[in-house]
Amino acid sequence: MDALDQLAKTFFDWEAMAAVIPNMLTVGLPNTLILAVSSGVLGCILGMILAVMGTSRSTALRLLSRIYTDIFRGVPAIVVILLIGIGLGPVIRQLTGSTNPFPLGILALTLMASAYIGEIFRSGIQSVEKGQLEASRALGFSYNSSMRLVVIPQGIRRVLPALVNQFISLIKDSSLIYLLGLLASQREIFRIGNDAAANTGNLSPLIAAAAMYLVLTVPLTHLVNYIDNRLRTGRPEKKQPDDAAALIGKGAQP
Amino acid sequence: MSDFASGSLTGKNLHLSFGSNHVLRGIDLHVEKGTTASVIGPSGSGKSTLLRVMNRLIEPDQGDILLDGRSVLKDNPDELRQRIGMVFQQFNLFPHKTVVDNVSLALRKLRKLPDEQARAEALEQLDLVGLKHKADARPANLSGGQQQRVAIARALAMKPEVMFFDEATSALDPELVKGVLALMADLAKGGMTMVVVTHEMGFSRNVSDTVTFMDAGVVVESGPPEQLFTDPRTERLQGFLSDVL
């Protein structure tokens, strides 16, 4: 029993968790969201540019997009964050006098996210039937207008689930920013949990951090499933006669 | 059906190759203003490609295209396509837009009409094809026949001088074909210049003013429908007609 008690105390010390949760909610959560949302939005913008380049008729633009994507998808996140954050830090400090690591952290996250988001958008754009572009061009729209008005909007819709998955990734990857050195007020969820764990020698604050991440990511996972289902069936919550029949057929109550 | 400001259309000696595949081998096609030309022939004969070359969705390797007697090969192809409406086998409505937005899109973005006026004109076009009551539905919630009628309204909204139909009824269930063909016949009667690629021999025979029979990238025979259908001169057309009739 001693061993079990020991484990319970290490992981589920409620008092240690209660001590860290207020700080996580008021400081960690907003900072995590700032990192994830801003790099998510910037990543979508840069990703769309990469996708348009990747599907363009110019070989040079396609190649450029390809090289960028290969590099930033192929290098571990921690390497990019360290290279950008530590490498460019002094330059930013000289130029702006700011030592805030957030802008460079967001930049590093954006560069990586855009490589993935660019591929997501590209696959969406390429999945739109050729007839859509043809119909739009037959109406008299130019190639660029056709892409902007007809093809890209449909492509984006199809990849919304993958996009939300990417955002979930960003929420988790934002924890790596701690490597750049954060002031007390700049700490995000993981760093607050980690500091408390280091100070007390007890891992419960990290369990609290994990729970906080789950509160953010699990609803998003279900949002993905909902969007996915809705995209497939075209409308929410409308039972087809066949669905009911299948249930009854299995002996279930309707 | 109101009358149209339609024009004549001529394709002269049109050639097109995809690599070593010589798809069009010197096609001549002339459609008088306000008349309907149907193009028939076995699949793979180049009929659909001919339409795409005549509105420059695909640029011809050789030959000339004249709209109202004037060559359009040096024009901006986007502007040329605003003057030629096209209807596709698979409808190709924009699924992310409502029916009325499908019809008004080009009016808003190309004709630069204010939203309200574009919507009013689009509703008028939908009324002509009998689908005003579906204006705010999504294309996916319409039957195939209704979708094709919306596609026709979308093309007509731009007030084209010529209309192309690329096997417009081939993807439809048999009971829906009639409505679309009746609408096409109305347009023909209203004086629209039309080029109709079709497998509907009844339509070709009864509605069109001229029939062109294509095979393997060449025009094998063309003339008034009575002549081609009752007195085909070439063996290839005789063979084709005995296969499809």
Mean pLDDT of all residues belonging to chain B = 94
- Give the distance from residue B155's alpha carbon to the nearest chain A alpha carbon, in angstroms: 7
Mutation site for B-interface testing, chosen from A127, A139, A154, A156 by largest number of B Cβ within 10 Å:
A139
Residues of chain B positioned with their CB less than 8 A from the CB of A234: 138, 140
Half-sphere exposure of B134 (CA within 13 A, CB side): 22
B94–A136 C-beta distance less than 8 A: yes
For chain A, residues with pLDDT lower than 50 are 236-239, 246, 249-254
Kindly report the length of chain B. 245
Under 8 Å between Cβ of A209 and A194: yes
- Give the distance from residue A220's alpha carbon to the nearest chain B alpha carbon, in angstroms: 24
Which chain A residue lies closest to B97 (C-alpha atoms)?
A: A150
- Give the distance from residue A216's alpha carbon to the nearest chain B alpha carbon, in angstroms: 30
- Put simply, whether A22 touches B (Cβ < 8 Å) is no
- Put simply, whether B96 touches A (Cβ < 8 Å) is yes
Chains A, B: CB pairs < 8 Å:
59
Residue A3: its pLDDT value, please?
87
Give strand ranges (E) for chain B: 9-18, 21-31, 36-40, 62-67, 70-71, 84-87, 162-166, 193-197, 210-215, 218-223
Percentage, residues of chain B above pLDDT 90: 95
Question: In the predicted model, is pLDDT for residue B118 greater than 60?
Answer: yes
pTM: 0.84
Per-residue confidence at B155, pLDDT binned at 50, 70, 90?
very high
Please tell me the distance from the alpha carbon of residue A241 to that of residue A247, in angstroms, as a whole number: 10
CA A211 to chain centre: 18
- Put simply, whether B106 touches A (Cβ < 8 Å) is yes
Residue B1: its pLDDT value, please?
46
By Cβ distance, the residue of B81, B95, B138 closest to A139 is: B81
Half-sphere exposure of B183 (CA within 13 A, CB side): 27
Under 8 Å between Cβ of B155 and B91: no
Assembly ipTM: 0.93
Percentage, residues of chain B above pLDDT 70: 99
Under 8 Å between Cβ of A217 and A172: yes
Residue A57: its pLDDT value, please?
87
B82–A138 C-beta distance less than 8 A: no
A131–B92 C-beta distance less than 8 A: yes
Picking from B139, B92, B58, B82, the residue whose alpha carbon sits closest to that of residue A130 is B92
B79–A140 C-beta distance less than 8 A: yes
Residue B3: its pLDDT value, please?
67
**Sign of torsion, CA B167 A142 B78 B187?**
positive
Residues of chain A positioned with their CB less than 8 A from the CB of B167: none
Picking from B26, B22, B9, the residue whose alpha carbon sits closest to that of residue B83 is B9
- Could you read off the pLDDT of B21-52 as tens digits, one per residue? 999 999 999 999 999 999 999 998 999 999 99
Residue A253: its pLDDT value, please?
47
HEC letters along B133-196: HHCCCCHHHCCHHHHHHHHHHHHHCCCCCEEEEECCCCCCCHHHHHHHHHHHHHHHHCCCEEEE
- Put simply, whether B78 touches A (Cβ < 8 Å) is yes
- Could you read off the pLDDT of A114-148 as tens digits, one per residue? 999 999 999 999 999 999 999 999 999 999 999 99
DSSP A113-153: HHHHHHHHHHHHHHHS-HHHHHHHHHHT--HHHHIIIIIHH
Cα angle: A5, vertex A8, A14; to 5 degrees: 125
